[in-house]
Amino acid sequence: MNVYYEQDADLKHLQGKNIAVLGYGSQGHAHALNLKESGMNVCVGLRPDSSSCAQARQAGLEVNTIADAVKWADVIMVLLPDQYQKAIYEEEIAPNLVEGNTLAFAHGFNIHYKQIVPPETVNVIMIAPKSPGHLVRRTFTEGNGVPCLIAVHQDYSGDAKQQALAWAKGLGGAKAGVIETTFKDETETDLFGEQAVLCGGSAELIKAGFETLVEAGYPEELAYFECLHELKLIVDLYYEGGLSRMNYSVSDTAEYGGMTRGPRVITPAVKAEMKKILTEVQDGSFAREFIDECNSGYKNLNTLRESNTGHPIEKIGAKLRNMMSWLIKK
C-alpha cells in the first residue's frame, strides 16, 4: 500500500483552479471550508431551494446552482447523496463538463457500478476521508486531519493523482496519512463492511442478544445495558488499541467467556454467509438491487425501517436514554 504524507502532496496542483463542491451536507461543508481555508478558490453548488444555502453563505462561502458551479469550475467534487448522483450528473453536471475538468468523488459507488460514465476527456478521482464529515472539519480546525483514501479512475491531464493528493492535503488528511487505493476496492470493502459488520452484523447481534435475555425472563432494562449500551465502551477499546486492548481491559472472566463462546456465535456458517454477501457486492447484484429499491420509492426500506423502530429494544432504549443527561438529544 502506498501511504502519502504532507511532503508528498503539493497544493499547487489545485491552487489557481476553480473548485466546485456540490452539496453542503456532512462531507460537503467539511471539504468546502477546509479547502477554502487552505487557500483554494471554492464555490458551493446547491439546488436553488436548498436548506443548506443559508448555512454555506453564513460560513462565508459563495453559493451557486449546481449547473453554474460546474460551468465555472475546473475541479468538481460531488458530495451529494449517492442515490441522487446519477440523475444530477445527467441533468446538471455532464452538460457543463469540458475537456480537462476533474470530476471527484468521496465514494466509488456510482463510478464503479457505471451509474455515472464520465467522458474520457476528464480526470476522475476519489478522495474519501475515513470519517464522518463533522470530524473531518473538527480535526482540521484543531490543526490535524483524518486519514484519507485516494484513487484515480481516469488520468486525462497526467496529474490526476497529484490533484487527489493536493485535495487530501487541503482537507488536512495528509497530516494523518493518505492511502492509495482503487475505486473498486474502496467501493466493495465499504459496502461489505457496512453490510456484514458495521450496520447489518452489529445490529442483528445486538437484537439477538437482547431477545435471548428477554425471552429467558430477564428485565428489558438489563438486557439493553448488556447488549447495546455497553457495546460502546467495548468498541472504544477496539478503536484505541485493537482486540488485544479490549481483552486486556475486561475481566479475566469476560475474556475467557468471550474467547470460548464468541466462536459459537460467529460460526463457520456465519462466515460462509459473509462470503456470499461479498460475492453479491463484487458481482454487482447488490448494487442493482439497491438501485431498483431507490427507483421503486424505497418500498422495502420503508417496511424494514418500521419493523426496526417497532422493536422492543428501541422502546426501552428511548426510556433509558432519558436517564442519561450527558447524551445529546436528537
- Which amino acid appears at position 106 of this protein? A
The x, y and z cell numbers of residue 65, run together, are: 446552482
Separation CA 125–CA 152 (nearest Å): 4
The percent helix, strand, coil of the chain (3-state, each to 5) is 60, 10, 30
Annotated binding site for NADP(+): 24-27, 47, 50, 52, 133
172 binds ligand NDP per the rule CB under 6 A = no
Is 31 one of the annotated active-site residues of the chain? no
Q: Please give the residue ranges that form the binding site for Mg ion (CB under 5 A).
A: 190, 194
Catalytic one of 29, 107, 112, 153: 107
If we measure between CA atoms, which residue out of 113, 96, 94, 104 comes closest to residue 22? 104
68 binds ligand NDP per the rule CB under 6 A = no
The arrangement of strands across the sheet holding 123-129 comes to 3-4, 178-180, 148-154, 123-129, 102-105, 75-78, 18-22, 41-45, 62-64
Per-residue mark of binding to ligand NDP, 114-153 (x: CB under 6 A): --------------xx--xx--------------------
- Report the nearest approach of ligand NDP to the CB of residue 25 (Å): 2
Between 137 and 175, CB nearer to ligand NDP: 137
Q: Which of residues 7-36 bind ligand NDP (CB under 6 A)?
A: 23-28
Separation CA 196–CA 191 (nearest Å): 9
- Report the nearest approach of ligand NDP to the CB of residue 312 (Å): 29
The count of C-alpha atoms lying within 13 angstroms of the C-alpha of 225, restricted to the half-sphere facing its C-beta, is: 7
Q: Which of residues 70-109 bind ligand NDP (CB under 6 A)?
A: 79-82, 84, 88, 106-107
Q: Which residues bind ligand NDP (CB under 6 A)?
A: 23-28, 46-47, 50-52, 79-82, 84, 88, 106-107, 128-129, 132-133
